[in-house]
Structure 1
Amino acid sequence: MYQETKRPFISLDLGTSNILAYVSGQGIVYNQPSLMAYDVNTNNLIAIGEDAYDMVGKTSDNIRIITPLIDGVIADLDAAKDLLKHIFNRLKMMNFWKNSIVVLACPSGVTELERDALKMVAKDMGADLVVIEEEVKMAAIGAGINIELPNGHLVVDIGGGTTDIAILSAGEVVISKSVKVAGNYFNQEILKYVRSEYNMSIGAITSENIKKNLGSLVQYPNERSMQIYGRDIISGLPKEAKVSSEEIRNILLSAFSKITDLVIEILEEIPPELAGDIMKNGMVICGGGALIRNIDKYFFDIFQLPCKIAAEPLGCVIDGTKAYEKIIVKRVNEGVYDASQDTYLKKLS
């Protein structure tokens, strides 16, 4: 059993688009894109985070850009280790990992093998105990929901790689589902539309900017258009075009139909008492996707439920892990978590 002692606490939101790191006593120490740039010839890491993001679509064949996490899952284990080591080396915080308690937030659809890979990364960094929790549960806490009460809450967390939807009550996830329709998927759909409609190839950064500037799910006053630049797919020459808010809204509505279908699936599976709670408490929307214009009105029009956008949608998951620190440390000190059983929770008698 663990003796009560002050041990380092680290939590990580390993997102497809961004990585956030929290260290107890230090606050959020890192919040940057989860990208890395390598020199192909030497295999040396030359840029991470914002520096690597600025290089996307603008490098020679001698530089490759890697995303260690794709759709919320570690796609390149070595790159993920490299990324964490460089982050904490840069911050001069590698010593915080030794004998630390680490909470990793991951999508609900992650398999046991993928969870083991996540644990391995943290263990190799020096962590003593690794606790993996669902992102949507941490997002709910970060959004200010008291999930410990026996009261049902519906949370929709629209991230970069996945959208996680869950019903939470009495401290746990009652039911959750995940779909790989989120920020990156929206970007790809915009990219494909521009290619087919305007015979024009644009990059990932341009697609992201279109989504941020024009994206909406319900018509709004003073809608506008945006001039975009790319390459003509026939002539190969530089080209410009103008896209409208309405065009982008139609793309997003088509993509969002997959998310609403999943919400319906979940609502159809819950007990009547929880359905009554959801009717009263409504829906909380988290993640970067919550920033799309009129997303709350869109969901309200479909489900006729009160819809609330979290105060800090981009930081909900990491804020949730910060609040969760007290619960984890208490459980560790009480011996509920056993290091010999890695992250597994002992059954309470």
Structure 2
Amino acid sequence: MKSEDRTFIALDLGTSNILAYVGKQGIVYNEPSIMAYDTLTNTLLALGHEAYDMFGKTHDHIQMIVPIKDGVITDLDAAKDLLKHVFSKLKMLNDWKNSIILLACPSEVTELERTALKQVAYDMGADIVIVEEEVKMAAVGAGINIDLAKGNVVIDIGGGTTDIAIISAGDIIISRSTKLAGNALNEEIKKYIRSEYNVLIGSKTAENVKIELGSLAKYKGERTMSVFGRDVVSGLPKEALISSEEVRNVLVNAFGRITNMIIELMENTPPELAGDIITNGFTLCGGGALLRGIKEYFTGIFSVPCTVSPNPLTGVVEGCKIWEKVILKRLENDYYGKGARKVKKGSQPDFI
């Protein structure tokens, strides 16, 4: 079967959201990567937005499962179940047969973790599976011509991981990854409110505080916000009033670790590329790029221009969409060899 006759599917399997792109159709799915199971009957009750709305409000017989954590599949069966239900819901389950799958993953996943990602796609019926780094696809989705021999720093702040890479001449020159990302920032907000106000709040509330008040620089219209949780001492419901300045201090302190990682990356960058970075600056991608004042924060520290991707939340899968042509051309030239193809029973896998 010719490559162009196969269905092309690209997946951004994020900790917070799953995005699916299907060739000639566009983005067909963009919802939280969470599932709700009834443990008594072992049946799926809800997934995506519907399951997210149930988070923190269920009884003991409902289990909330996130099969992907920090960009890595932690539950293979649940991941397959999730994809099956997603594509069954879209009435596109048959599209997996003999398909070409592009999977986006964090830059520092191990070979074993890449193999697990591939296996899920093969088990779904895919014939050819290719894994690319999220940060590379985010760069393409942000409109960067990565084929040029010019250094570009891309910072992709997702839900589970933050990937930082210097890209030039079509590939990643050097990269770093940290678990300090959207979910970790929510945890920092939870810790602060508990220590400062003795109020225990949930992850959804912390996420809402980050969205409503979060910033890395002062902005017009700063305000306060009421949050509701449980009093740590009495166990009774309690209200706390949080200000924009308080949340900013929490986030700036956490972002210091990302800043240190960028400095380490720059110290190991070839001098010629360092010169390019002064001109090209940083490109910010992922949900974290939507934080108020993030451009001013990085510009103030590194004295380089910063731009935010046109589509921070969908940038990775937008890059996969553009990368489809590259993959089809490479398949024609047998660029991937046997490493990207489904292994027949009885033979040994040959992963790229």
3-state DSSP class of the match of 2:314?
helix
Indicate if the aligned counterparts of 2:135 and 2:155 stay in contact, CA closer than 8 A. yes
* Change in 2 beyond 3 A, CA 1:4/1:124: closer
Indicate if the aligned counterparts of 2:176 and 2:265 stay in contact, CA closer than 8 A. yes
Residue 109 of structure 1: aligned partner = 108
Pairwise CA RMSD: 1.3
Residue 322 of structure 1: aligned partner = 321
- Unpaired runs of 5+ residues, structure 1, are none
Residue 124 of structure 2: aligned partner = 125
CA distance in 1: counterparts of 2:124 and 2:333, whole angstroms: 25
Indicate if the aligned counterparts of 1:37 and 1:66 stay in contact, CA closer than 8 A. yes
Residue 14 of structure 2: aligned partner = 15
- The one-letter code of the counterpart of 2:100 is I
Indicate if the aligned counterparts of 1:102 and 1:131 stay in contact, CA closer than 8 A. yes
- The one-letter code of the counterpart of 1:277 is D
3-state DSSP class of the match of 1:231?
strand
- The one-letter code of the counterpart of 1:111 is T
2:220 pairs with 1:221: yes
- How many angstroms does 1:23 deviate by? 0.4
Residue 163 of structure 1: aligned partner = 162
* Change in 2 beyond 3 A, CA 1:116/1:315: same
TM-score (norm 2): 0.96
CA distance in 2: counterparts of 1:216 and 1:90, whole angstroms: 37
> Which structure 1 residue ranges, 4+ long, deviate > 6 Å from structure 2?
343-346
User: 1:271-306: per-residue Cα shift (whole Å, max 9, x none)?
Assistant: 111001111101000000001001000000000000
CA distance in 2: counterparts of 1:241 and 1:82, whole angstroms: 40
Indicate if the aligned counterparts of 2:339 and 2:351 stay in contact, CA closer than 8 A. no
* Change in 2 beyond 3 A, CA 1:204/1:119: same
TM-score (norm 1): 0.96
* Change in 2 beyond 3 A, CA 1:82/1:325: same
- How many angstroms does 1:109 deviate by? 1.5
Residue 208 of structure 2: aligned partner = 209
- The one-letter code of the counterpart of 2:67 is P
CA distance in 2: counterparts of 1:291 and 1:103, whole angstroms: 26
3-state DSSP class of the match of 2:313?
helix
User: 1:8-53: per-residue Cα shift (whole Å, max 9, x none)?
Assistant: 1000000000000000011100000000001111221111000000
Residue 195 of structure 1: aligned partner = 194
Alignment of 1:80-91 (within 5 A): 80-91=79-90
3-state DSSP class of the match of 2:5?
coil
- How many angstroms does 1:87 deviate by? 0.3
CA distance in 1: counterparts of 2:3 and 2:132, whole angstroms: 23
Residue 347 of structure 2: aligned partner = none
Indicate if the aligned counterparts of 2:20 and 2:317 stay in contact, CA closer than 8 A. yes
- How many angstroms does 1:222 deviate by? 2.5
CA distance in 2: counterparts of 1:302 and 1:258, whole angstroms: 13
CA distance in 1: counterparts of 2:309 and 2:221, whole angstroms: 25
* Change in 2 beyond 3 A, CA 1:179/1:4: closer
CA distance in 1: counterparts of 2:184 and 2:59, whole angstroms: 26
- How many angstroms does 1:338 deviate by? 2.5
Indicate if the aligned counterparts of 1:336 and 1:345 stay in contact, CA closer than 8 A. no
- How many angstroms does 1:233 deviate by? 1.3
Count of residues in Structure 1 that have an aligned counterpart in Structure 2: 345
- How many angstroms does 1:337 deviate by? 2.3
Residue 259 of structure 2: aligned partner = 260
- The one-letter code of the counterpart of 1:52 is A
- The one-letter code of the counterpart of 2:233 is I
- The one-letter code of the counterpart of 2:154 is V
Alignment of 1:176-187 (within 5 A): 176-187=175-186
3-state DSSP class of the match of 1:314?
coil
Indicate if the aligned counterparts of 2:174 and 2:265 stay in contact, CA closer than 8 A. yes
2:296 pairs with 1:297: yes
Indicate if the aligned counterparts of 2:128 and 2:340 stay in contact, CA closer than 8 A. no
- How many angstroms does 1:81 deviate by? 0.5
- How many angstroms does 1:7 deviate by? 1.2
Indicate if the aligned counterparts of 1:154 and 1:166 stay in contact, CA closer than 8 A. yes
- The one-letter code of the counterpart of 2:203 is A
User: 1:238-264: per-residue Cα shift (whole Å, max 9, x none)?
Assistant: 111100011101110111001011111
Alignment of 1:85-100 (within 5 A): 85-100=84-99
CA distance in 1: counterparts of 2:306 and 2:26, whole angstroms: 30
Alignment of 1:38-117 (within 5 A): 38-117=37-116
- Unpaired runs of 5+ residues, structure 2, are 343-349
CA distance in 1: counterparts of 2:339 and 2:328, whole angstroms: 17
Indicate if the aligned counterparts of 1:129 and 1:339 stay in contact, CA closer than 8 A. no
- How many angstroms does 1:75 deviate by? 1.0
CA distance in 2: counterparts of 1:274 and 1:5, whole angstroms: 37
Alignment of 1:278-289 (within 5 A): 278-289=277-288
3-state DSSP class of the match of 1:54?
helix
CA distance in 2: counterparts of 1:31 and 1:6, whole angstroms: 25
3-state DSSP class of the match of 2:304?
coil
- The one-letter code of the counterpart of 1:279 is I
